Amino acid sequence: MQGFRFLRIPLFPSNALFFVSPTPHLLPVKPISRIPIKYFSSQMGSSPSSSSSKLLFRQLFEKESSTYTYLLADVSHPDKPALLIDPVDKTVDRDLNLVRELGLKLVYAMNTHVHADHVTGTGLIKSKFPGAKSVISRASGSKADVLIEPGDRISFGDLFLEVRATPGHTSGCVTYVTGDEPDQPHPRMAFTGDALLIRGCGRTDFQGGSSKQLYESVHSQIFTLPKDTLIYPAHDYKGFSASTVGEEMKYNPRLTKDLEEFKKIMEHLNLPYPKMMDIAVPANLVCGLQDPAC
Amino acid sequence: MQGFRFLRIPLFPSNALFFVSPTPHLLPVKPISRIPIKYFSSQMGSSPSSSSSKLLFRQLFEKESSTYTYLLADVSHPDKPALLIDPVDKTVDRDLNLVRELGLKLVYAMNTHVHADHVTGTGLIKSKFPGAKSVISRASGSKADVLIEPGDRISFGDLFLEVRATPGHTSGCVTYVTGDEPDQPHPRMAFTGDALLIRGCGRTDFQGGSSKQLYESVHSQIFTLPKDTLIYPAHDYKGFSASTVGEEMKYNPRLTKDLEEFKKIMEHLNLPYPKMMDIAVPANLVCGLQDPAC
């Protein structure tokens, strides 16, 4: 199983689960190939960037449920191992077609949590792309090939995601964060699911939700990341595609409040019962029901 | 007028128009501040990236017309000069609120062309953000503060966009491309309007459209860019957010065909008359009519 690995780091020694590539892949460093000085000379800055030469990143949108699916791959690795975060059943063909066109090898189809507003595509993906494994948190109570826990590291090629527990919207919510190492993308990227939305957050009135827990999750697990960390949520309803930790710490209308005020806000949202909930939640406990074995 | 400049480069000496900042801004090079070696040592690669430490980039979506608006700013510059490409009237408040929250100084509100499917927000932006200038191509026949021509360079801080003529969807369509210099974003980014969409292209049956001209525009002005150049179109209807020149050269179902086949495809699209056309086009010739003086 070369090129990607699933590693439970020593911080959490119990339930250790290792899919480790036998040797690190030492790839040639890509030169910057085009340095024409056409119009004027200018400074050469070191450029910590929102991506790296290794990372292929695509944000995909499902309009009906306003869900973002994320495609990440290590394109510097010979296998081009890739993962999809929060795929939707209705857009699986679009996503897998893109994976194939880009010559990627899909390793993981992952969820940030058990969604209540759409049916996950992970089961369908497994049936259409043999070899891909479904991933969700053990705390979600769902079935999947890989049940992750806080502190786990999900590797694809030389890139990896850290797992952070961010319960509160549901009891099993996690945030996936790109690694804090020099060869990983800079700034870091946090896939926050429904824990933290852009200028908002997920509701906390069902599926084991708790406004207190959500508040603590966001403050301890997300707002402690570097301020330039890019926030990529599971949904957006206003047309925003990304934010940063710094922006949300300053402008999130809910999470900038103190805990008591936050709890009051969350108690009085008066949101309707999710249309898809009774179909989506049972299905999403088993990878969208397309594959009962997950 | 420090911090941003509009420069017609010497290639096109007639109609020279110069707004040049008096001196180049020599900013300190930012160090990479976090280099912990926590888990394993790894290679340090030079990282040509999809952005730079200078560029703030946001993709914004207007759901009704499936329009992408792009916000770009040079955040390394003291003024944080910014521009918006293809703003929509209905989402101007969202966009300007974001501009203010991020502490940016909006310099330009630009269009890639006269849109037929939504009303531009450039006039409204000017009324709400004094100092911002509207920008569109001279070939569009529209009114605006700055009428750009092919070869023009639109600078904001130390970053700039090149103007490329890409007529065919309309006779005045342009593509804005980030600069080809070492301190500009790598890979380059092309804002293609409706000339090139992800796995598609704009229709050519009205507003001076010509399928032959569109084919030649895309092949001569966009497909000649480096293959890793990121494509950011004015619309997407399937939930894609970006592509690359290389991908479109390989997988665009229309523009990979020869000219004759392309012309046949475009002749037989049988698309309905755009709902907004009779309102949007006259309005967009004068910055969305919100400001008749543009």
Q: A290 CB contacts (<8 Å, ≥6 apart)?
A: A89, A123, A124, A126, A127
Interchain CB distance below 8 Å, A238 and B44:
no
Reduce the DSSP state of residue B177 to 3 states and report it: strand
Interchain CB distance below 8 Å, A102 and B226:
no
pLDDT digits (tens, 9 = 90+) for B245-283: 999 999 999 999 999 999 999 999 999 888 888 889 999
Between CA B175 and CA B229 the distance in angstroms is 13
Pair A134, A148: CB distance under 8 Å: no
Between CA A115 and CA A88 the distance in angstroms is 10
The pLDDT confidence band at residue A51, using thresholds 50, 70 and 90, is low
> pTM of this prediction?
0.84
Minimum distance, in Å, between the CA of residue B136 and any CA atom of chain A: 24
Minimum distance, in Å, between the CA of residue B293 and any CA atom of chain A: 29
Interchain CB distance below 8 Å, B43 and A27:
yes
pLDDT digits (tens, 9 = 90+) for B19-66: 333 333 333 333 222 222 222 222 222 222 345 789 999 999 999 999
**A49 pLDDT more than 50:** no
Cross-strand bridge partners of residue B81: B105
Minimum distance, in Å, between the CA of residue B23 and any CA atom of chain A: 12
Cross-strand bridge partners of residue A233: A193
Torsion of CA B99, A218, A266, A249, to 10 degrees: -30
Q: Which residues of B touch A35 (CB under 8 A)?
A: 182
**B163 pLDDT more than 60:** yes
pLDDT digits (tens, 9 = 90+) for B201-221: 999 998 889 999 999 999 999
Q: A92 CB contacts (<8 Å, ≥6 apart)?
A: A121, A124, A125, A128
ipTM: 0.83
Interchain CB distance below 8 Å, B50 and A47:
no
pLDDT digits (tens, 9 = 90+) for A56-111: 999 999 999 999 999 999 999 999 999 999 999 999 999 999 999 999 999 999 99
E strands, B21-173, are 55-62, 67-74, 81-85, 105-110, 133-137, 146-148, 152-156, 159-165
Q: Considering only the beta carbons, identify the residue of B24, B94, B101 that sits closest to A239.
A: B94
Please state, rounded to an integer, the average pLDDT across all residues of chain A: 85
Q: Which residues of B touch A37 (CB under 8 A)?
A: 181-182
Residue pairs between chains A and B whose CB atoms are closer than 8 Å:
154
